[in-house]
């Protein structure tokens, strides 16, 4: 004799199941299928976020990742009344290493540099590759002096990265600039752009100074002609006045 069995699950007007969900033809409940679809979507979303915020070459954050997560850290530091420092490193010699020693050596040097940046950031900070030869580190909780001490501790008193290659010692000396965020409203991007601009001005000054010193060496390496000698003796020195010589700007 056949027995009537009451349904073990009921679907409400919103499409939700109560009790034991029915089985599909494949033997899986709609709950399991929905969970699987959600997990696949979440995994795809995580991959998109990772691709948008991580540098594939070094595994560090990229520029977008630094600025996005940096704003969160900056906001947290402001709420807690803690300082927030950012350091930007320009390692333009990496491009020259790539030309002289090849891509493999340049990649090894970049990996070593990325490891140092990651170590400098620690578990609380952020390390990012923000350009082909530029890196940046966010250091929450550190003021400018604390950030400089951390840099010297990780990169040495004279910050540099060293690599032995076929008996040659490759030494990469980055230019860098450090500053802290002010207490007023501002973003991590504004601080980053400020440091990049200051770094560019410093490098421009260094180039002008090197050009001046090179011209001076060339001038003194050539025999002085009669007219120049006359200018130096009868009409005064033809050397440039002191105020025309590039000097380090006071900070």
Check whether 50 has a pLDDT greater than 90: no
How many angstroms separate the CA atoms of 142 and 149, rounded? Answer: 10
pLDDT of residue 28: 58
Average pLDDT, the chain: 77
pLDDT of residue 3: 47
How many angstroms separate the CA atoms of 181 and 76, rounded? Answer: 12
Q: Retrieve residue 215's tokens.
A: 């011209």
* DSSP-derived secondary structure for the chain: -------SEEE-TTS-EEESPPP-TTS--HHHHHHHHHHHHHHHHHHHHHHHHB-TTTSSB-HHHHHHHHHHHHHHHHHHT--EEEEEEE-THHHHHHHHH-HHHHHHHHHHHHHHHHHHHTTTSEEEEEETTEEEEEEET--HHHHHHHHHHHHTTTT-EEEEETTEEEEE--EEEEEE--SSS--HHHHHHHHHHHHHHHHHHHHHHHHHHHHHHHHHHSPPPHHHHHHHHTS---SPPGGGS--PPP-
pLDDT of residue 95: 84
The CATH fold of domain 53-208:
Alpha-Beta Plaits (3.30.70)
Check whether 155 has a pLDDT greater than 80: yes
Q: Is the pTM of this model over 0.75?
A: no
91: Cα separation from own chain's centroid = 11
Residue 228, CA atoms < 13 Å, CB-side half-sphere = 8
**Residue-range domain boundaries for the chain:** 53-208
How many angstroms separate the CA atoms of 137 and 118, rounded? Answer: 8
What residues have CB less than 8 Å from 76, skipping those under 6 apart? 140
pLDDT of residue 4: 46
Split at pLDDT 50, 70, 90, the class of 220 is low
Say if residues 135 and 113 touch (Cβ distance below 8 Å).
yes
Residue 238, CA atoms < 13 Å, CB-side half-sphere = 14
Nearest partner of 161 among 142, 180, 139, 133, judged by Cα: 133
Split at pLDDT 50, 70, 90, the class of 239 is very low
pLDDT tens for residues 82-115? Answer: 999 999 999 988 888 888 888 888 899 999 999 9
Say if residues 143 and 130 touch (Cβ distance below 8 Å).
no
pLDDT tens for residues 7-31? Answer: 444 455 445 445 555 555 455 566 6
pLDDT of residue 35: 61
């Amino acid at each position: 004799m056949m027995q009537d069995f009451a349904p073990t699950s009921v679907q409400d007007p919103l499409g939700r199941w109560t009790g034991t969900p029915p089985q599909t033809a494949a033997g899986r409940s709609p709950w399991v299928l929905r969970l699987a679809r959600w997990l696949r979507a979440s995994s795809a979303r995580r991959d998109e976020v990772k691709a948008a915020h991580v540098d594939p070459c070094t595994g560090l954050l990229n520029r977008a990742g630094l600025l996005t997560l940096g704003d969160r850290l900056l906001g947290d530091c402001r709420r807690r009344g803690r300082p927030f420092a950012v350091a930007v490193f320009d390692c333009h010699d990496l491009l020259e290493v790539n030309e002289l020693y090849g891509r493999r050596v340049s990649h090894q040097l970049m990996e070593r540099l990325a490891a140092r940046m990651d170590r400098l950031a620690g578990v609380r900070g952020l390390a990012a590759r923000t350009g082909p030869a530029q890196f940046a580190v966010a250091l929450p909780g550190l003021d400018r002096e604390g950030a400089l001490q951390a840099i010297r501790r990780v990169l040495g008193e004279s910050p540099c990265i060293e690599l032995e290659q076929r008996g040659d010692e490759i030494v990469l000396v980055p230019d860098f600039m450090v500053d802290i965020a002010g207490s007023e409203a501002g973003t991590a991007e504004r601080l980053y752009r400020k440091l990049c601009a200051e770094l560019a001005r410093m490098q421009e000054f260094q180039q002008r100074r090197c050009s001046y010193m090179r011209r001076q060496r060339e001038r003194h390496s050539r025999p002085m002609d009669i007219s120049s000698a006359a200018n130096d003796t009868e009409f005064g020195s033809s050397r440039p006045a002191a105020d025309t010589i590039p000097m380090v700007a006071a900070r």
